[in-house]
Amino acid sequence: MNKISIQTGGFDISAEVSLAHNNNSGLGAIVTFVGLVRDMDDEAMTKMTLEHYPGMTEKALQIIADQAKSRWKLGNITIIHRVGELQVNDQIVLVITSSKHRKSSFEACEFIIDYLKTQAPFWKKEHTKSGEKWVEIKDSDKLKLDNWN
Amino acid sequence: MNVLYFASLKESLNMSSEEIKASSNMTTGELKLHLIQKHGVHHFPKNIICAVNHEVRNDLALLSDNDEVAFFPPVTGG
């Protein structure tokens, strides 16, 4: 079973890896990606807020997980994304992929996060002492999708 | 139909949703034009995305009154 969760609270990476593994003795590799709230380059961030589109977000992530499974032979996929108010150094997102050999897990994990960043309806806002600003999509994130087509 | 707004668009319009009466065979592009005429073009930059019933659609999708339509800026999760 894949696990897809949109939540305000944090996540325990070790517990999620165990859950995804599920004692499946056929799996030889598990890859995890953890995205973090990074401080801004020019000014200290006081907090980050994350908004999403309930209903569409879950569907979009399920479609991305299904696409990954159609490209690679994978075990369980986990995608956890936090929303609400976050601080610098907080975990934002967790992607776990698993497979018999490592190559499929590495590739599928990168595929999932590349697609999540450009297809799933989440929006980040950075707050500083001088004000707040919606994060804008980077061209480099859009270009990463070309690698998969 | 219920039209939803998210993120910077929600803030600039100062509303998260509104009820719009769809004329028969209205397309997503025509709905957007209607919203631009109602609220002002500056709220709807070219990169605004439209989703119908949770799927991203282009300007040519046909709408019915029961559809849930959403407009939002490019996404920035992850």
> For the segment B20-71, what is each residue's pLDDT rounded down to a tens digit?
987 878 999 999 999 999 999 999 999 999 999 999 999 999 999 899 999 9
Contact B60, B40 (CB under 8 A): no
The verdict on residue B58 lying in a domain is yes
Q: What is the ipTM of this complex?
A: 0.94
Domain A2-148 in CATH 3.90.1170.40: yes
Distance CA B51, CA B20 (A): 15
Total count of domains within chain B: 1
Please give the pLDDT value at position A15: 98
Domain range holding B53?
2-72
Tens-place pLDDT, residues A101-146: 999 999 999 999 999 999 999 999 999 999 999 999 888 888 888 8
Distance CA B6, CA A52 (A): 8
What strand order describes the sheet that includes B2-5?
A: B17-19, B2-5, B68-72, B49-52, B55-57
Taking alpha carbons only, the member of A58, A44, A54 closest to residue A126 is A44
C-alpha pair distances (Å), A69 with each of A74, A77, A85, A97, B56 = 6, 9, 32, 10, 22
Q: How far is A99 from chain B (nearest CA, A)?
A: 23
Please give the pLDDT value at position A114: 96
Q: What is the pTM of this model?
A: 0.95
The verdict on residue B54 lying in a domain is yes
Tens-place pLDDT, residues A55-74: 999 999 999 999 999 999 99
Decide if A50 and B75 are in contact by the 8 Å CB cutoff.
Answer: no
Taking alpha carbons only, the member of A39, A12, A18 closest to residue A30 is A18
Nearest CB to A56; choose among B51, B73, B78 = B51
Tens-place pLDDT, residues A74-110: 999 999 999 999 999 999 999 999 999 999 999 999 9
Contact A33, A92 (CB under 8 A): no
Once rounded to an integer, what is the mean pLDDT over residues A1-20? 97
The verdict on residue B78 lying in a domain is no
Residues of B with Cβ-Cβ distance to A92 under 8 angstroms: 77-78
| Tokens, residue A70 | 């159609």
Decide if A121 and B77 are in contact by the 8 Å CB cutoff.
Answer: yes
The verdict on residue B40 lying in a domain is yes
Tens-place pLDDT, residues A30-60: 999 999 999 988 889 999 999 999 999 999 9
Decide if B6 and A51 are in contact by the 8 Å CB cutoff.
Answer: yes
Residues of A with Cβ-Cβ distance to B8 under 8 angstroms: 123, 134
Query: Looking at per-residue confidence, does B22 or B6 come out higher?
Result: B6
